């Protein structure tokens, strides 16, 4: 089945807003060979294992799965059999870059290269991220650094995506559609 909405789609919202579910529903409704790129790894956190299992059960077996915590640009440039790539989530990806002790300049370079890869990708790209700028100002320098980089990352991705959807309480609000 051909894609009804070509290009790139960005789902943005708060934690537990329903953005991942809506992104997955969009993909399943419009594509036949989806690839799910997970930026979160299981690690030692048992609660996190449960969350990952819930996401995987909700998606079912029709998805190709790639777990990639850092090198998203490579995923988008590598040939595969998918007709759509869903990346969930960019906020966790940013966390992984911060935990790798990258400088802000290094992170900006990686993000710039990733945004270029989105623009050049031969299949539809669907992205999911948290909007972290609606809450209180973090009281730590690391928290403010994360918030600032996440806001900048989201702006860069929104700029190149054809469609941007803000999700709150499970409801989509179209911010951009061209």
Q: In this structure, how many other beta carbons lie within 10 angstroms of the beta carbon of residue 42? A: 13
Q: In this structure, how many other beta carbons lie within 10 angstroms of the beta carbon of residue 96? A: 17
Catalytic residue among 21, 55, 145, 176: 55
Mark whether 55 is an active-site residue. yes
Q: How far is CA 120 from CA 23, 107, 125, in A?
A: 21, 20, 10
Q: What does the alpha-carbon distance between residue 79 and residue 21 come to, in Å, rounded to a whole number?
A: 26
Residues that are catalytic:
55
């Amino acid at each position: 089945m051909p894609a009804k909405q070509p290009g790139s789609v960005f789902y943005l919202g708060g934690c537990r807003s329903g953005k991942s579910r809506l992104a997955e529903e969009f993909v399943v409704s419009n594509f036949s060979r989806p690839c799910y790129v997970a930026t979160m790894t299981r690690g030692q956190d048992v609660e996190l294992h449960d969350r990952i299992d819930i996401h995987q059960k909700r998606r079912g077996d029709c998805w190709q799965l790639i777990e990639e915590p850092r090198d998203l640009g490579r995923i988008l440039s590598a040939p595969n059999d998918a007709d759509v790539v869903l990346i969930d989530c960019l906020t966790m990806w940013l966390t992984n870059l911060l935990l790798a002790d990258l400088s802000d300049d290094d992170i900006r370079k990686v993000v710039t290269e990733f945004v270029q890869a989105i623009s050049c990708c031969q299949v539809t790209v669907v992205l999911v991220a948290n909007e972290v700028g609606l809450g209180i100002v973090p009281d730590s320098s690391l928290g403010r650094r994360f918030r600032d980089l996440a806001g900048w990352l989201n702006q860069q991705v929104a700029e190149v995506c054809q469609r941007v959807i803000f999700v709150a309480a499970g409801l989509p609000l179209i911010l951009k559609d061209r």
